[in-house]
Amino acid sequence: MSKILEQLATAIIEGDIDNTPKLVQKALDEGLEPLTILNDGMVMGMNEVGRRFKAGDMFVPEVLMSAEAMQAGLKVLRPLLVASGAKLLGKVIMATVQGDLHDIGKNLVGMMCEGAGFEVIDLGFDVPAERIVQAVKEHKPDIVGLSALLTTTMRQMAYTIKALEEAGLRDKVKVMVGGAPVDEEFAKKIGADGYGSNAAAGAELAKKLVGAA
C-alpha cells in the first residue's frame, strides 16, 4: 500500500475529520484512481474500525468520529467516483420504521455500509412502509435496511416486508433488520434475509447479501 493510502486509512481510524479530505485530495493529486483511494485507503480504514469495534477495542463515539471522517473524505471523492463510472458494491436504502424516532444505530450502520463501498440512501426515521416501497421503486436498491429501537415498532418491520411483497418487489431486494429489541429469530420469523447485531455486523451482512464477503 502506498504511504498516502496508509495515512488515509489511519486518519479514518483515528476519526481525523479535518485531515481525511486533505489526504483524499493529496492522493488524487498524486494521480491515484478514485476507486483505488476508496478501496485501498478509506474502506481499509473502516474495515479496521469495524474489526476493533467488534473486538470491543473501539466504542460508539469513536466509531461515529471515524464514520464522520469517512463522510468528509467521500464528499471530495464521490463526484469523481460517479464521473468515472466506478462500480460500487451496491445500493442500500436505510430507514427507521414508522413510529420510531431513534436513528443513531441506523446512521451508524449506514455510515459503515458507505465505508464498505456501498451507495447509501437514508430515508431517516419514522418512515412508513409505503414510503419505503416508493423508494425501492425509485432507487432500485440491492438491499433495504430496517431499524427499530422500540418493541412497539418491531411489527412495522413485518408490515414493510409484507408491503414489499404486495408491491411485487420482495424478490428484487434483500432485507436486513437490526435494533436493540431485534434478534435472529425475529428476523427469520418476519421473513428478513438477515440480522445485524451492531453496525460492523450490519455492514458485513450487507457485503454477504450482495456476495462480496
Q: What is the mean pLDDT of residues 148-163?
A: 95
Instruction: Provide mean pLDDT across the span 20-26.
Output: 97
pLDDT beyond 90 at 53 = no
Statement: residue 30 has pLDDT above 80: yes
Please name which of 48, 53, 51, 39 lies closest in space to residue 13, comparing C-alpha atoms: 48
**Cα(35)–Cα(39) distance, integer angstroms:** 6
Mean pLDDT of 126-154: 97
Domains of the chain and any CATH numbers: 3-84 (1.10.1240.10), 90-209 (3.40.50.280)
Place of cell 460517479: 82
pLDDT in tens, 60-81: 889 889 989 998 998 898 888 8
What cell was used for 173? 431486494
Q: How many residues does the structure list for the chain?
A: 213
Among 199, 196, 182, 205, residue whose Cα is nearest residue 109: 199
